[in-house]
Structure 1
Amino acid sequence: MAFGEPLSLRQEDIRVDGHAIELRLTAQDARRGLTPSPGTLTRWRPAPLGGVRLDTHLYENYRFPPHYDALMAKIIAWGPDRESALQRLTLALNRLDIEGPRTNLPLLQRLVTAPDVIDNRVTTRWLEDALPRLMEDPS
């Protein structure tokens, strides 16, 4: 398109096949307002699951720096429908074995089990309103 060439596909050629949900695992401490949490990753054991992709650069003993983006991994779950994608994502989060810097993993686990998320009642403003409650430590 940038060169004025026609697209090779037409809208009628595009079909939807399943549902994907992506979350971003970060080295941020939700108990402290998502402040950066640098340090050495002493344990990194993501569970291999069908339908779940993990885009990451991490390995055990990786030293997470304080000066850059806090992104640790993108966790993407696919399913034939939204419900199954959300179930796979929840399972992937619950089976992720990670130690070292504080992460937003507990926040993500609360997010995927929030009734509004499960029932698909979220809007573009929902997270902004729900974030203070989701960041509370239930313990």
Structure 2
Amino acid sequence: MATAPYNYSYIFKYIIIGDMGVGKSCLLHQFTEKKFMADCPHTIGVEFGTRIIEVSGQKIKLQIWDTAGQERFRAVTRSYYRGAAGALMVYDITRRSTYNHLSSWLTDARNLTNPNTAYCSLKQVQKRERT
């Protein structure tokens, strides 16, 4: 009896998008490593993580792509939208501008992904040092 080359039945790609410093990398680390990181370095280009979950008895591999939020990397990170089953748009509730920019992130996602891609927004509160 041949063994399966993979230990999952399906694979789905998801992207995490949003402005710089809203907590995208921290979310990726929490989801894939199951460890909380209060501070994550800013992403240069794209970071990548995976996790296998089980749904209705089926193992599903999730590929999570954490994109850089800086404007100067937008042209590079846009190429990673292709093939995404979903996009998680993240903003920092303490910085209104990051919420206001969600429409731009959604426009990019709609233009660069297929029509069946799911979109979701998530608010984050980034811990700031008080002066």
TM score, norm. by length of structure 2: 0.27
> Which structure's CA Rg is the greater one?
1
TM-score when normalising by structure 1: 0.26
